[in-house]
Amino acid sequence: MSSNSFSDESLFADATPVAARPDPSSLLSDLTEPQHRAVIQRGGPLLVVAGAGSGKTRVLTRRIAHILATGDARPYEIMAITFTNKAADEMKKRVIELVGADAEKMWVSTFHSACLRMLRMNAEVLGYQRGFTIYDAGDAETAVDRIMKELNIDTKRISARSVYSAISAAKNEMLTPAMYADRAHGDDPNHRRIAEIYRLYAERLMLANAMDFDDLLLNAVLMMKKDPGVLHSYQSRFKYLLVDEFQDTNGVQNELVLMLAAEHRNLCVVGDSDQSIYRFRAADVRNILQFEQRFPDADVILLEQNFRSSQTILDAANAVIEKNASRHAKNLFTERGQGEKIRLYRASDEYDEGRWIAGELRRMKNSFNVGWSDTWRCSTELMPRAVCWKKKCFAQTFRTELFRGCASMTEKKLRVRWRMHVLLSILMTKLQLAG
């Protein structure tokens, strides 16, 4: 075991003053009954199936705050994992607002940041120095390209980017170079070439005392498997482990979560199989679907009340998604009223799409006599509707036409706010196909 696994323990000495805890009941007053149960649950695994717009962030932050307020754990005994730095910062900020600055000592981060922190303290277990370099995607592709040229591999027939993607996918499945080579697909020459490149790439990284982003996850798992002492130190330390967007975890992330939660078993995962859209990034929806098989004693709580959309939109979503065979059954509902009927517009091309949307936005802006930012709120809340695309939603021609029609908005703001309409577009396309 590394002698510095807890080099930051000085932050958590018993002599550190503990701020006055808030009244735990004050954290529960404005929650729905399912949210309340998810916040106060203790004593084992918990799966929170959170439908879209059901307040999952509130549940996560209140659960953490409630654990601290009841004294069930101290801040440094809690690890919360999200998928973006922005989400992690927001979660920690909310918890601090609820229970005070003592919550600063929690581990709230992305998977990569958490693994980097653990590797920095224990890198020597795998033969690295603690000051190892991190390769970004560009650095990694350059290294792969160099190896391919040394092996006289024609990069016009197989690109460095595709090879790096294959190596990345292998790491996300926890396949080392040797394991990947053993998985040779018959006489597939490309697989053999990639296996050789992967082996050399891993060797070059080690010699350079470097890791790529995928290594941060894989090496954290390998480190704890190689040194049981390091694994036990983190298992005993984190009494409560919470993971957001669990449906988007891949194989190595799932393995890391299961390893860390093995001792205390106070694992809370929040997610929704219906919202799993990152398979192209190696996300494996089976991680959330099989959670109850891995933890037969797990409590399962459904968050089905939506706080954003009208019942019309939710009925359409329910009608589409219920056709999925592998999912956690739930029925989204709202108290916001039935809302307008969904209207379908078939555009002839992307120019027509842009003109129609721009015209609708102008009409709503004039009808409600509001600015552009409020117009988008009206379009998504007061007058919900969807557009059925025939071509790519972000085609340059479409953006140009839309920008022309809403000239007083910046193109950046249009791109950001357009995401809601893209999701509704996909929904309506599937609804049409299903009907």
Element at 228 (helix H, strand E): helix 228-237
Could you tell me the two tokens for 322? Answer: 């219920």
CA within 13 Å, CB half, 422:
13
What was the pLDDT predicted at 277?
A: 78
Q: Is the CB of residue 303 less than 8 Å from the CB of residue 55?
A: yes
Q: Is the CB of residue 203 less than 8 Å from the CB of residue 178?
A: no
pTM: 0.79
Write the burial class of residue 177 (CB in 10 Å: 0-12 exposed, 13-18 middle, 19+ buried): buried
> Using one digit for the tens of pLDDT, what is the confidence trace for 16-68?
445 567 789 999 999 999 999 999 999 999 999 999 899 999 999 999 999 99
Whole-Å CA distances, 310 to 69, 303, 385: 35, 16, 11
What was the pLDDT predicted at 107?
A: 93
Q: What 3-state class would DSSP assign to 107?
A: strand
Q: Is the CB of residue 405 less than 8 Å from the CB of residue 354?
A: yes
Q: What is the DSSP string of 291-305?
A: HHHH-TT-EEEEE-B
Note down pLDDT in tens along the chain; length 435 residues: 444 444 444 434 444 445 567 789 999 999 999 999 999 999 999 999 999 899 999 999 999 999 999 999 999 999 999 988 999 999 999 999 999 888 889 999 999 999 999 999 999 999 999 999 999 999 999 999 999 999 999 888 899 999 999 999 999 999 999 999 988 665 677 888 999 999 999 999 999 999 999 999 999 999 999 999 999 999 999 999 999 999 999 999 999 999 999 999 999 999 998 888 777 778 889 999 999 999 999 999 999 999 988 999 899 888 888 888 888 888 889 998 998 888 888 888 877 877 787 777 777 777 767 665 555 555 544 333 333 333 344 445 555 655 565 555 554 455 544 544 554 444 444 444 443
Q: Which amino acid is present at 417?
A: R
Q: Which amino acid is present at 334?
A: T
**Relative orientation angle of helices 213-226 and 251-260, to the nearest 10 degrees:** 40
Could you tell me the two tokens for 349? Answer: 């091309």
What was the pLDDT predicted at 399?
A: 58
Domain annotation for the chain: domains and CATH numbers:
9-117+217-303 (3.40.50.300), 134-208 (1.10.10.160), 305-435 (3.40.50.300)
> Using one digit for the tens of pLDDT, what is the confidence trace for 422-431?
544 444 444 4
